[in-house]
Amino acid sequence: MNTTSTLINSSSKIVNIQNKYQIGGNQLNNEIKYVQLEKLDDIIKMMSASMRSPPLHHKEVKDGHVYFLPGSLALGKAVIYLVKVKEKVENKYIVLDTLRDKISFSDELSTKPSLKYFTIVEVTSENIMPTDIQ
């Protein structure tokens, strides 16, 4: 058996990685673990702990919007951190003010050292999202 998991690299191309076990169709979602967070602030604060923050992925779903961060656990097991919200972030960046612990949104970058910017990438198709979230 071989497992195929899909990751999105920094140039937004989809890259298929084959592991040891192959599982067809939606069964792959059962192998991927996910952590659903309460609010958008939570995922941004989690991302801010990283030295080089990956882009935050966005996908519109039937009753809202999901922002997620694909990752991996030890031994190569996939994990997705996600938050589901009602309204879409319309700006290019989510901004964390590390001094005030406040989240804002912007289309412009600033050189202010207390601000961390997180890019949002739009996902048109994926096969890693848990089916109960879509």
- Let me know: does 53 contact 43? Beta carbons within 8 Å: no
In degrees to the nearest 10, what's the CA dihedral of 28, 31, 33, 34?
20
Q: Of residues 132 and 94, which shows the higher confidence score? A: 94
Question: Residue 4 — pLDDT band, cuts 50, 70, 90?
Answer: very low
Q: What is the mean pLDDT of residues 52-78?
A: 85
Q: Of residues 134 and 78, which shows the higher confidence score? A: 78
According to the model, what pLDDT value does residue 9 have? 33
Q: Of residues 106 and 51, which shows the higher confidence score? A: 106
At residue 44, what are phi and psi to the nearest 5 degrees? -65, -45
Mean pLDDT of the chain: 77
Q: What is the mean pLDDT of residues 41-55?
A: 86
Q: Is 24 a residue whose pLDDT tops 80?
A: no
Q: Is 111 a residue whose pLDDT tops 70?
A: yes
The HSE-up count of residue 89 (CA atoms within 13 Å, CB side) is: 28
Domain ranges of the chain: 33-122
Question: Residue 90 — pLDDT band, cuts 50, 70, 90?
Answer: very high
